[in-house]
Structure 1
């Protein structure tokens, strides 16, 4: 672990004052900075923040260090092995979220998990009904009913939080970029990801809720209602999987020499280009999975690599992207650039998912097959 000594980047003037100011001035500037952040989090229209206003760096406060020590002491031994896998530290104390935001994010994450579970229950009422044995994509079909039922639950749940952040959902009316481009923070929702899995009744569909800030997913919840499994994460809080009552910290596991590469493959979207990429990788094992659960298998350390060389939308990946990132993985395009959200075009580029340590090797694999992938 390491500490970060740079101040947040709200104001050039404040930074200059803090460099040359005395201790009293530093404390006053930090106090003003926090007040500004708190107002921004409340959505106070009287406060204007130039630039992103994102707290990229924070001072390391003594209670931050104390929280980190308590966190580590409370972890089970198997969780600690995930934290320091290959000597890669998990916690960058004092960096990422401002101190006052952590309790809020922790509570917010719990609230979103509860909303996702409730939405999953609404889906299951339709999915488990014997009268709905045949699932189709026609209007007013069981699939459409489940999709809309989940969307209603999520929309109502987010509204009850009273945060006032916009919601962009697959089921909602498309909002023009001219309006969306001013959004610094918004919810990105897929109420039922994996329609083909839903129709096939294999259970591999999910509820996805993500919080996007300045184009990046900072909170994500992926819930599988059939299997009652929930993956969830928030920036600075870690990534977890919950099965029933048991919750466990998860960490992406890099591929090691001599080990077969475990590749996640779509059950419904196989293609020749992906097959060509995998063939030139050598020894590998394919794990079939549907929906956003594919990304979550990377985050959990069950698989090493997921290449997606077909079309997807932003709401298909955002929630799981947050989980992968917090678990030490990366979701990037074929050039190695991390996926961004709230673009003018909501389609994702083709992308790769893997532990961060494997990025260069996987990009090399793609480069070797570039003529087939473009």
Structure 2
């Protein structure tokens, strides 16, 4: 791993160097995940275990170990905190700069072999993302962004290309994407009443956001129920979307914050190409109120 400048010395240059390290670490984690996914060599046993928020596999844990070990080794000169799905102990991290990591987003899809799983690595500063990586292992693509520097996609050969969201600007022309499995009746009813041109469903938040970056879809909607998505589901996807020109907010139009006492992201979330964003979350809020009145 190369040495890097201190964030205190030159933040912009340091973030670019840290980003290069994070991409290298991300590709290594992608290789680990793909090896488990295919059952290669000695890494075929997923050792699936159930935990409170869903299953965890040997692949989650192996990728997590790789990410933490390599980031901590390469960046030991910085006072970073680390918040990972697989090591979270129920408390926020008392640091300004915190890595938020999901080594395997979409574990159920990984187990079910849908191919719809992703890798999330984000570096946050005072609860907001500054650097992000979203890896899509089965596409062998790695999306990355640094605050204020745009979003790019890197392929296995090192080729990098910028990514921008679509220019579609009428709700009736938009393609929506939502979770394949994390949908209750309330969310389904709301989605059915929104006048989208197309509706798609898939696993992994990172995977869904990648479809917006590739201009295949335009809107992703999440709504918590008995449980809620966590910081590691959103931190990296948010930045790669917003740096590509999109928007990612609550239904109230507020930015999300991360590394709070509660890592759950409760309520409604709207991610879009940005052109109808306020209109969309206003419509969603009104539809939910209508649905709730009908159910009482």
**What is the aligned length?**
275
Q: How does 1:268-347 map to 2 (within 5 A)?
A: 268-291=181-204, 292-310=206-224, 311-347=228-264
Contact 1:122 1:149 in 2 (8 A): yes
Unaligned 5+ runs, structure 2? none
Gaps of 5+ in 1: 1-37, 43-99
Name which of 145, 149, 153 aligns with 2:66: 153
Residues of 1 paired with 2:189 and 2:88: CA distance? 38
CA-based RMSD: 2.5
CA deviation after TM superposition for structure 1 residue 254, in Å: 4.1
Distance 1:133 1:191 in 2: 17
Partner of residue 138 from structure 1, selected from 43, 49, 72 = 49
**Residue equivalent to 1:362:** 280
What CA distance in whole angstroms lies between the structure 2 residues aligned with 1:168 and 1:262?
A: 33
| 1:214-253 deviation digits (Å, cap 9, x = unpaired) | 1111111011222211111011221012233332211122
1:186 aligns with 2:98: yes
Residue equivalent to 1:97: none
Scaled by the length of structure 2, what TM-score is found? 0.84
Asked if the contact 2:47–2:58 (Cα under 8 Å) also holds between the matched residues in 1, the reply is: no
Distance 1:354 1:334 in 2: 12
The TM-score, its normalising length taken from structure 1, stands at: 0.68
Provide closer, same or farther for how the CA distance between residues 136 and 39 of structure 1 changes in structure 2, counting only shifts above 3 A. Answer: closer
Q: CA deviation at 1:133?
A: 7.2
Provide the C-alpha distance between the structure 1 equivalents of 2:161 and 2:172, rounded to a whole number of angstroms: 25
Note if 1:168 corresponds to 2:83.
yes
Instruction: Decide which structure has greater helix share.
Output: 1
RCO (CA 8 Å, sep 6+): is it higher in 1 or 2? 2
SS across alignment from 1:282: coil
